[in-house]
Amino acid sequence: MVKIKNNRIIIISGYDLPFAGAPWRRIEYFADFISKQMMEVYVVGAISPSRNLSQVFRKAKGIIHDTFIILNLQWRINYSNWFIEIFNILGTIPALFASLALRPKIVFVSLSHLEQLPTMYIAAKLMNARLIVDVRDPLEYWLKWTKGFTRKFFALIIMINYSIIRRADMVVAVTPSLVSLLAKQGVHAQLVMNGADVRIFQPYPYYEARRKLGLSDDAVVIVFSGRLGGYYDATPLLQAVARLPSELKKKVVFLLVGGFGDATYARKFVRVAKELRLSSNIKVLQPMRDARTLAEILSAADVGVITRVTSEVYDPAIPAKFYEYLACGLPVIALARRGSELWRQIEEWDVGFACEPHDLDCITRALEKIFDESSMESMRANVLRVRPLIDRRWATEKLYKLLRELLEPRRDA
């Protein structure tokens, strides 16, 4: 592969980096791959002012991460309020100064939050750098969690973001539905899917993984990777487990890798589990930043779970955990809207079960099929068949090819 020489790229994210989450693993893989082709890669993240000062200074100073450098320079409070959002917008100014100091040829904005793009658009214009926008979720997502004046303020920020996206040098999106959604906004986007790092996310020895976690060989393990809460609601799954015959129900272990995203939902989940007498069926593990450790844990399970909400705003997105489950050889159970991108992909590849979030009959039938070894064996074969298609390397090579084309000298028509 031809290298891009003497060029610098800065990748902007609204997260505190590194962290245990799929958005970081996408950025990490891209940054590592591109850094081996380019001269320098800098990743600029954010940090909450609630952290102790020594940790703030350490992260702001810079973290050398294999082949690239992480600078957590932005200030961000993770709370949806118009006043806090103004603070978050102002908190991106250090990223502007970092860009002016580093003088990159490419400004790559990983669009998970709304406040980074306006600032980095200004930075790119000041430096005559190319602006690339990476869209992983619909921007309208933020309107689902706000109301009143805050909702109107976020709608204004979203409108500004779309205006900038139309002016970007290149836009990439992770699903065909997102590409279509952006087209309706007058944006031409390239498909650069998420996928998984199949070198790390792969099936590891099943029984060995179970022994490490203290799981019995005859347990039927349902795993969820990520933080429950917000739009990830697993209570319908608990209700479906409770409907299973007692001889099946007692074998089920619901393995949560990452715990809960908010205390209110955690209390609700614990209360529902207690009411359904399923507390002993639940095992909670802390978030796993190390991808290899997470992959080994997933390999101990029989099926991976994806929980979604009923809102159509999420239809174009596919959670990255879907690809990580498949890479580890796991069929999936997804609570999703019929016709969503996730539902369509599961049906097309025949790699699991998709049910409407509140269709308990469908969820219960899916759980019962987990105990049918012949059915599961056929589905696992399908998972292994499509596994090469979700290798993140293909998407990364496509992105790199697009970067090379973008940096080619412009010729007059």
Residue 85 belongs to domain spanning:
8-195+391-407
Identify the CA nearest to 336 among candidates 191, 385, 321, 283: 321
Q: Can you tell me the distance from the alpha carbon of 27 to that of 82, in angstroms, rounded to the nearest whole number?
A: 28
Does residue 22 belong to any structural domain of this protein? yes
In terms of domains, do 344 and 267 share one? Answer: yes
Assign residue 32 the CATH number of its domain. 3.40.50.2000
Give the length of the chain: 413
pTM, rounded to two decimals: 0.91
In terms of domains, do 401 and 342 share one? Answer: no
pLDDT digit of tens for each residue in the chain (413 aa)? Answer: 555 555 899 999 999 988 888 889 999 999 999 988 866 899 999 988 765 555 655 555 567 777 899 999 999 998 888 999 999 999 999 999 999 999 999 999 999 899 999 999 999 999 999 999 999 989 988 887 788 999 999 999 999 999 999 999 999 999 999 999 999 999 999 999 999 999 999 999 999 999 999 999 999 999 999 988 877 889 999 999 999 999 999 999 999 999 898 889 999 999 999 999 999 999 999 989 899 999 999 999 999 999 876 678 889 999 999 999 999 999 999 999 999 999 999 999 999 999 998 899 999 999 999 999 888 999 999 999 999 999 999 999 999 999 988 887 655 44
Does residue 3 belong to any structural domain of this protein? no
Does residue 54 belong to any structural domain of this protein? yes
Determine contact, residues 107/120, Cβ cutoff 8 Å: yes
In terms of domains, do 132 and 213 share one? Answer: no
Does residue 1 belong to any structural domain of this protein? no
In terms of domains, do 254 and 353 share one? Answer: yes
Q: Tell me phi and psi for residue 285, to 5 degrees.
A: -115, 155
Does residue 326 belong to any structural domain of this protein? yes
Dihedral sign for Cα 397, 323, 178, 71, please. Answer: negative
Identify the CA nearest to 24 among candidates 105, 179, 165, 136: 136
Dihedral sign for Cα 103, 104, 105, 109, please. Answer: negative
Domain count, the chain: 2
Give the DSSP H/E element, type plus range, for residue 160.
Answer: helix 148-167
In terms of domains, do 226 and 143 share one? Answer: no
In terms of domains, do 16 and 39 share one? Answer: yes
Determine contact, residues 281/255, Cβ cutoff 8 Å: no
Does residue 167 belong to any structural domain of this protein? yes
Q: Tell me phi and psi for residue 183, to 5 degrees.
A: -60, -35
In terms of domains, do 373 and 292 share one? Answer: yes
Q: Can you tell me the distance from the alpha carbon of 201 to that of 325, in angstroms, rounded to the nearest whole number?
A: 8
Does residue 383 belong to any structural domain of this protein? yes
In terms of domains, do 381 and 403 share one? Answer: no
Q: Can you tell me the distance from the alpha carbon of 344 to that of 296, in angstroms, rounded to the nearest whole number?
A: 28
Place of tokens 């806090």: 84
In terms of domains, do 349 and 403 share one? Answer: no
In terms of domains, do 139 and 241 share one? Answer: no
In terms of domains, do 125 and 30 share one? Answer: yes
Does residue 201 belong to any structural domain of this protein? no
In terms of domains, do 310 and 181 share one? Answer: no
Give the DSSP H/E element, type plus range, for residue 271.
Answer: helix 263-275
Report residue 149 CA to chain centroid gap. 28
